[in-house]
Structure formats: structure tokens, C-alpha cells
Amino acid sequence: MPIIDSAVYVDGRRIENPSSLDQTFEYMEAHGGMAWIGLLRPSPDELERVAAEFSLHPLAVEDALAGHQRAKLERYGDNLFAVLRPARYIDETETVEFGELHVFIGREYVVTVRHAEVPDLSQVRRRLERAPALLRRGPEAVLYAILDEVVDQYDPVARGLQNDVDEIEDGLFSDGGADLTQRIYQLAREVIHFQRAVEPLRDMLEALLRGADKYGVDLELQRSLRDVLDHVLRQCEKLTALRAILDNALTVNATLVTQRQTETALTQNEEVKKISGWAAILFAPSLVGGIYGMNFTHMPELNWTFGYPMALGLMAATSVGLWLAFKRKRWL
């Protein structure tokens, strides 16, 4: 059994450290306490054993085994099933890595099923064990602490994404070209995926608070859940702003790329005009010289005293005329 940690708590204090799942069930029944079992990538048979002991709903068990679920909260009678999408920012690659955490909550138990190394729930367990007054409030307190840890881990992710957006804004008016467009698109996708992890928590926490009185949730615990909700709302606002900035950056970058391409095309066109103009000016004397260089017998100008000056003048006049014409059209 891939048990990361398993314990039984009575009155907010850890009383036993069972070495197996069977011992956990025995201690739980003997002391009438709350069991908290943490599993990492359990097999179907292993999770089915836990499900049979705590009467977990088959649909929730199926979701936990399948994985790749969206963040959500489901209630099956007095039991809760939550899917959370923890995240962490990887500085080396400037990307966001998402995990998946399933939490089963009953009157006397908490079962957590992880499919990734994050989040580190041992920190949550140590925090609660140092605060027996909070842990005394039961499984809902564990759910609150897990939600609080997951949401707290969103802060460095949001800061990392904000830093990436700032870098894009700084480089927007440099010659980023297609590479910058690709980076903006990739970052926008990460923000969207992060939104899909964060935004469902708003509805989840609001649903928990709506049902708090009905299911007898402690008043102080309700205040703590509202604090987490406020944190989630701030994250949602940040992500909405980041997404708007990236949408605008993508539009501005596309405009700048088009402008640069247009400017390059105009510059190239001006160069072509200049080359064509000078070619025409140089071609005119060559044409005149070529005609009189054919040396036919019957060419009157060849025996004319002013034939040579006339040919030079014609060359000069043609060249000057073409130069003036091209200058007037701003080709030169």
C-alpha cells in the first residue's frame, strides 16, 4: 500500500502511528478518532480497499483512479469529494507544472490521493498537529488546511507569470518577431491553464460556505474558509489582468511585425527604384553609342563634321532628361 502517512487523531492530537491500513482501521474504531490517510498513486485494488472501509462513492473513486480531472467539489450525502489542481513555477524553464489532488472527506476520516509530488501534504499535517485546537474541528479543518496550502502555493506561480509578462512587455518594441509571438502565445496558454485550476476554487469555497450551517461547520472555520476565498478572488483578478495584457501584447506585436515588414518592403522598393533609374540613365548613352557603332556605309552622320559632337550631346541630353524625370518622381 503506497501510504505516505496514516494517523488517528483524538481531540486534535495524534495518538497512534499505524504501520498498515488494517491497523489504521482498528485504532480508529478502538479510540473513536479521526483517521487521516495519505496515498500516492495507489493501484485500483489498493484504493478499493480504502473505499470499501469508508463507503466511498463509486463515482468519486472512479474519478480518483482515472485522474486528469478538472478542479471540482462533489457532495455525496454527508461525504465530500474534492479535486484540486496544485501548481508550481519552474524557474529553469519558466513554465508552470500542475499536479492533481483528490480529497475524500467524511465524518470520521480524510483520505488524500495524490498523482504527483506536489503539493507536499506533510507540511499541512505538521501545521495542523502544531494547532490541535484547529485539528479538533474535524475533517473539515483538514480540508480547509489543504485548500489553504494549495492556494498559498499559487502565489509564487502568479509572481513567476507576472515576471514573464513584464519581460514580454519590455521586449515588445524590440525586434522580437516570430519568436516573441510564440512566447506570448505559450505564456497565454499557461495563464489559461492556471485559470482553470484557480477559478473553480471560487465556486467550491462558496458552496462550502453555503452549506456550512446545514452541516454544522464551526464558525471560526467558516471565517478561515472566507479568508481562503478572498485569496482565491485576488488570484482570479490577477490572472484576468494578465490574460488581458497578453491578448493586447499579441495584438500589438502582430501590428509591429506587420509594420516592420511593410517598412522593409518599402525600403526594398525604394532601392529597386534607384537601381532601375540609374540603369536607365546609363542605358541611354549606351543605346546612342551602339547605334552609331554599327558602322554601316550609308550613315550620314558618320561623314558629318558635327556628327561626333551631336552624338555626345544626344547622350548627355538623354541622360540629363532621364535624371530630371526620375528626380521629379523621387526615384533618385
Q: Is the pLDDT of residue 259 over 90?
A: no
- Tell me if 120 sits within 8 A of 50, measured CB to CB: no
Q: What pLDDT does 238 receive?
A: 93
Residue 202 DSSP SS3: helix
What DSSP line would sit under 123-192, residue for residue? HHHHHHHT-HHHHTT-HHHHHHHHHHHHHHHHHHHHHHHHHHHHHHHHHTTSS-HHHHHHHHHHHHHHHH
Dihedral, 196, 200, 202, 206 alpha carbons, nearest 10: 180
Residue bearing the bigger pLDDT, 303 or 179: 179
Percentage of the chain with pLDDT > 70? Answer: 90
Phi, psi of 154 (to 5 degrees): -70, -25
Q: Which helix (H) or strand (E) holds 34?
A: strand 34-40
Report residue 2 as a C-alpha cell.
503506497
Rounded Cα distance, 103 and 101, in Å: 7
Report residue 178 as a C-alpha cell.
516570430
Residue 65 pLDDT level (bands cut at 50, 70, 90): confident
Q: What pLDDT does 302 receive?
A: 67
- Tell me if 109 sits within 8 A of 28, measured CB to CB: yes
**For the whole model, what pTM was predicted?**
0.76
What Å distances lie between residue 273 and 188, 276, 279, CA to CA? Answer: 43, 5, 10
DSSP structural state of residue 70: P
Residue 296 pLDDT level (bands cut at 50, 70, 90): low
Rounded Cα distance, 248 and 251, in Å: 5
Q: What pLDDT does 66 receive?
A: 83
